[in-house]
Amino acid sequence: MHLLMCPPTYCDVSYEINPWMHLSIRPDRSLAQKQWDDLYRIITQTIGARVSLVEPHPDVPDMVFTANAGLVEGSLYIPSTFKYEERRLEASYFREWFDSHGYLARELAVGPFEGEGDALRLGDILLAGFGPRTVRASHAGLSAAVNRRVVSLGLVDGRYYHLDVCLAVLNPNELIYFPEAFDDASMAVLHDLPVETIAISQSDADHFGANAVVLGKDVIINLGATDLAASLSERGYRVHRTDLSEFVKAGGSAKCLTLTLQPA
């Protein structure tokens, strides 16, 4: 397992592009650095996964959320096309990193597409969110590019604006999700999948419980998702709870801070 992260040197809330962001509630940068360091330490030392770093830039405060850099499949890099102007500058920084690390970039003809924030692997298939950010019309090109069947899931609540804030794949047979975030058709699609779908509570969802980093049996989640932490432990997962309060102010948590370069 190999992830990409970006140090939170310049993380901030300097615009509002999701309902969690308020210009009046800015992150404390030194606390953010400490929280990010803790997450990095859990991933690299406690769990022993590999992490590569991309250099942060002062003009892109959300670059810390590397899940939105794109989607990586082997040596193929599908760059994101961001919905909001405020994040579009990140694209060239991420592109530079992938170009200089031996990846072949393949751009989608249709966007916006916000990367792993809206595209999660479930065994051989790809669950892809659409609505608040990514457009459904990007999914066909995505499917062709990564050569996977894409299952499209419509998101209906602006608070859960990326798939990775309302769904996490635990393993090819098990996923957690927050039902209220999905439209009716997508709920039916989810229940038709040959996997166990585990609903999480509103409180766990609002504490970014679904925004979990899953590395085999190890699951890292934000501190407040207490019921979920207990039920994951009962299911035999090693749960690592860590405070990510400063990133929640920008509408993100554990999973958003990582991009999968090589799955577990």
11 catalytic? Reply is no
Q: Which helix (H) or strand (E) holds 169?
A: strand 167-171
6 catalytic? Reply is no
Binding mask 49-88 for ligand ARG (x = CB under 6 A): -------------x--x-xx------------------x-
Which of 3, 128, 165, 225 binds ligand ARG (CB under 6 A)? It is: 165
> Which pair of tokens denotes residue 76?
């193929």
Summary count for the chain: helices (H), strands (E): 8, 15
Binding mask 233-262 for ligand ARG (x = CB under 6 A): -----------------xxx---x------
Residue 36 found at the interface with ligand ARG (CB under 6 A): no
> In sequence order, what DSSP letters do the residues of 99-137 get, joined into one string?
HTTTPEE---SS--B-GGGGEEEETTEEEEEESSSS-GG
Considering only residues 90 to 119 of the shown chain, the ones binding ligand ARG according to CB under 6 A are 117
Which of 6, 11, 166, 256 is an active site residue?
256
Residue 52 phi, psi (nearest 5):
-105, 155
Buried b (16+ CB within 10 A) or exposed e, 66-86: bbbbbbbbeebbbbbbbbeee
In the chain, what's the furthest Cα-to-Cα distance?
45
> How big is the site for ligand ARG, counted in residues (CB under 6 A)?
16
Residue nearest ligand ARG by beta-carbon distance: 117
By beta-carbon proximity to ligand ARG, the closer residue of 19 and 48 is: 19
By beta-carbon proximity to ligand ARG, the closer residue of 209 and 252 is: 252
Q: Which residues contact 49 (CB under 8 A, 6 or more apart)?
A: 1, 2, 3, 43, 215, 264
Which of 162, 166, 207, 240 is an active site residue?
162
Please check whether residue 167 is in contact with residue 149, taking contact to mean a CB–CB distance below 8 angstroms. Answer: no
By beta-carbon proximity to ligand ARG, the closer residue of 180 and 238 is: 180
Residue 12 found at the interface with ligand ARG (CB under 6 A): no
Catalytic positions are: 162, 256
Question: Which residues are at the interface with ligand ARG (CB under 6 A)?
Answer: 17-18, 21, 62, 65, 67-68, 87, 117, 162, 164-165, 250-252, 256
